[in-house]
Structure 1
């Protein structure tokens, strides 16, 4: 994830985009601003950006959400036939039949139908679940906002409302993941209600899932969403990603991917030696601990350096913490 760049972190230059796309220019106001309360304008912005930045052509119904596309090999599922119909058209429109596979699912069926898709394994899931328990809750949530929504919402009821809301929806994903386990490298979902974050983290921990990440998505100054991801493998995400929500109590955040508190104790060393004996020396997948060490100039001290250890792989937080302490102690000895 460290190699990805958000090309939309800065505001879009609407005037420049209008010069490149006549359809977008048609919905741009005379003062160079875009009416985000108008669904047609919002959808046209999405179409123009996908066409300019990714070369995608897009056809959208006026009463459905308009997610952006990527350039990986994808499988898409939905219970809504109209959404799938437009998805099929867009796949064909862009010649992506060999890269995108679509499957209609049932509400009572699997949420991650790997067998139905004919897949043994996948790298990750992406989910934007229905946030609300009911239509009245959705209306009440909108009415409680201090300001009107910045962007028009074109979502249908099937995209916005589900029994039990997003907590029940993602809880079903967690339950399925306990069976699928490492057939999916990372399970991920967006969340629209902040209180859901802590509840779902507690569900992960209650099921013994300790390798997880929680982060926050902020679009401009108006929209805030949260992301939750979990894995049954032992590759550790960067701390800025895994612990990306400062407002969540620290007890619920995953173990930090670097630390400097403990020592490399004899007990920990014996444990590491025993694990090493049990390992196949030719199989890196069985490594007890994987890490990367960064050495850089300390800008706060001209005579010193800063050493940062990032946890990349492993399940034993005690082993990693004690290793960091040992290395810190050795560096302190060298500096005296």
Structure 2
């Protein structure tokens, strides 16, 4: 098993070079695209226009504005308390895995409907598929264990012509399975993406929210408010991030020919050593760790494949 480490600068806001959100938010332009955002925009203590990022309604409306302004997605909404992810960070993931595919396709990012991507835990927000479709015209399958999330994601797709017939949402009926029950026989994906629940319990998730509020200067809040929302299955699971990705690795070995590159976000760097051992035991042929820096937060993508290099070209014949 080969392991390589690729790094990104840890400077604040050092997003991927193709990320549409490298510049500071232009709230005048965003309000023009989404007038309802105006109610949440105010001048902060630094004299800049901004929103209160501790306010869930403000964060959701900002996401609506970003999706309208940058991606042409005009109909997007999520139910109360469902995860409302920061779009710049999600876009970074998509751009970095596009580079991953490029690295095994003669330096060319494959685009178009023949590129299939599986999103594990698509959520009600459907963000990864939206960005992947608009940026690269990929075809997505989004999987989730939450019926309401799947219903909402389907409604987003159906109400936006640019997404129709490019995103399929499937309900995972077994909450203990990752790929089984979702990946169909003879189905092949170029990529799988995942933002796993990384907390081990609701208590741990609440503690993380308190730290976030403190960083936002809202430490006086006695009751944690999840500004980015999140249901139980989106934020925590038994064993947290490590056990979830462990299950993913074990299942991926059983479906080694169904996906060229399996990937997952890993929020805790101390978990990497254990993942490397699990991947070696699973006989992954190559493992990559792609570092990402978004503001003060450092995260990384863990990627692995069971496909020999000699067979990479076979995955892209339809795209060349």
Is TM more than 0.5 here?
yes
* Paired position in structure 1 for 2:232: 157
* Paired position in structure 2 for 1:91: 157
Within 5 Å, which residues of 2 pair with 1:312-323?
none
Contact map agreement 2:284 2:305 (CA 8 A) in 1: yes
1:13 aligned onto 2:79: no
C-alpha distance 230-149 of structure 1, shift in aligned 2 (>3 A): farther
* Paired position in structure 2 for 1:225: 299
C-alpha distance 89-118 of structure 1, shift in aligned 2 (>3 A): farther
Say which structure, 1 or 2, has more relative contact order (CA 8 Å, 6+ apart): 2
Contact map agreement 1:122 1:183 (CA 8 A) in 2: yes
Structure 1: where are the runs of 5+ without partners? 236-283, 288-336
Task: For residue 130 of structure 1, report the CA deviation from its aligned partner.
Answer: 0.7
TM-score normalized with structure 1 length: 0.63
Within 5 Å, which residues of 2 pair with 1:43-192?
43-56=60-73, 57-67=75-85, 68=127, 69-70=130-131, 71=133, 72-95=138-161, 96-108=163-175, 110-113=177-180, 117=184, 120-143=187-210, 147-148=214-215, 152-192=227-267
C-alpha distance 26-144 of structure 1, shift in aligned 2 (>3 A): closer
Contact map agreement 1:191 1:226 (CA 8 A) in 2: yes
Which runs of structure 1 show a deviation greater than 6 angstroms over 4 or more consecutive aligned residues? none
Contact map agreement 2:188 2:259 (CA 8 A) in 1: yes
Q: Distance in 1 between matches of 2:175 and 2:57?
A: 33
Contact map agreement 2:180 2:251 (CA 8 A) in 1: no
Superimposed CA distance per residue, residues 301-332 of structure 1 (whole angstroms, 9 cap, x where no aligned partner): xxxxxxxxxxxxxxxxxxxxxxxxxxxxxxxx
Contact map agreement 1:39 1:62 (CA 8 A) in 2: no
Contact map agreement 1:114 1:121 (CA 8 A) in 2: no
C-alpha distance 195-25 of structure 1, shift in aligned 2 (>3 A): same
Contact map agreement 1:132 1:162 (CA 8 A) in 2: yes
TM-score normalized with structure 2 length: 0.66
Structure 2: where are the runs of 5+ without partners? 1-15, 86-126, 218-225, 314-320
Contact map agreement 2:33 2:68 (CA 8 A) in 1: no
Task: For residue 11 of structure 1, report the CA deviation from its aligned partner.
Answer: 2.0
Q: Distance in 2 between matches of 1:127 and 1:24?
A: 29
Superimposed CA distance per residue, residues 118-142 of structure 1 (whole angstroms, 9 cap, x where no aligned partner): 6610111111111111112223444
Task: For residue 49 of structure 1, report the CA deviation from its aligned partner.
Answer: 1.1
Matched residue of 1:187: which SS?
Answer: strand
Matched residue of 2:194: which SS?
Answer: coil
Task: For residue 145 of structure 1, report the CA deviation from its aligned partner.
Answer: 6.9
Q: Distance in 2 between matches of 1:7 and 1:123?
A: 24
C-alpha distance 286-101 of structure 1, shift in aligned 2 (>3 A): closer
Contact map agreement 2:202 2:232 (CA 8 A) in 1: yes
Matched residue of 1:131: which SS?
Answer: coil
Q: Distance in 2 between matches of 1:99 and 1:286?
A: 24
Aligned residues: 236
Contact map agreement 2:31 2:37 (CA 8 A) in 1: yes
* Paired position in structure 2 for 1:327: none
Q: Distance in 1 between matches of 2:148 and 2:67?
A: 21
Task: For residue 73 of structure 1, report the CA deviation from its aligned partner.
Answer: 0.9
Please provide the CA RMSD for this pair: 2.7
Q: Distance in 2 between matches of 1:135 and 1:7?
A: 33
Contact map agreement 1:129 1:170 (CA 8 A) in 2: yes
